[in-house]
């Protein structure tokens, strides 16, 4: 099932985890019990939207670089 608009943008949230040397971005579904089937492109677009929300308040410059590189990687996966 294809979900468009705000629902697909906010179905995933992103968090930065790990210690200073080994930081990662993890993703989780906002509603894990939903019964929708999402396409690969919808999930990647939702991950990009979740990363862009992290850019509003990065904890450090390293986190900003991590988020930027993650967005670039996800963007290249779509193409």
pLDDT in tens, 29-47: 887 656 567 788 888 999 9
Higher pLDDT, 3 or 65: 65
> What pLDDT is recorded for position 79?
76
Report the distance separating Cα 62 and Cα 58, nearest Å.
9
> What pLDDT is recorded for position 1?
45
Residues ≥6 apart with Cβ < 8 Å to 68: 55
- Asked if 16 and 24 touch (Cβ cutoff 8 Å), the reply is yes
Q: Per the confidence metrics, is the pTM higher than 0.85?
A: no
Report the distance separating Cα 78 and Cα 39, nearest Å.
11
- Asked if 14 and 27 touch (Cβ cutoff 8 Å), the reply is yes
Q: How confident is the model at residue 4 (pLDDT cuts 50, 70, 90)?
A: very low
């Amino acid at each position: 099932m294809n979900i468009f608009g705000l629902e697909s943008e906010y179905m995933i949230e992103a968090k930065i985890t790990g210690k200073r040397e080994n930081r990662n971005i993890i993703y989780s579904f906002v509603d894990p019990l939903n019964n929708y089937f999402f396409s690969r492109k919808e999930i990647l677009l939702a991950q990009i939207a979740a990363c862009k929300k992290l850019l509003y308040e990065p904890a450090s410059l390293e986190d900003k670089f991590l988020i930027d590189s993650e967005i670039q990687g996800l963007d290249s996966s779509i193409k």
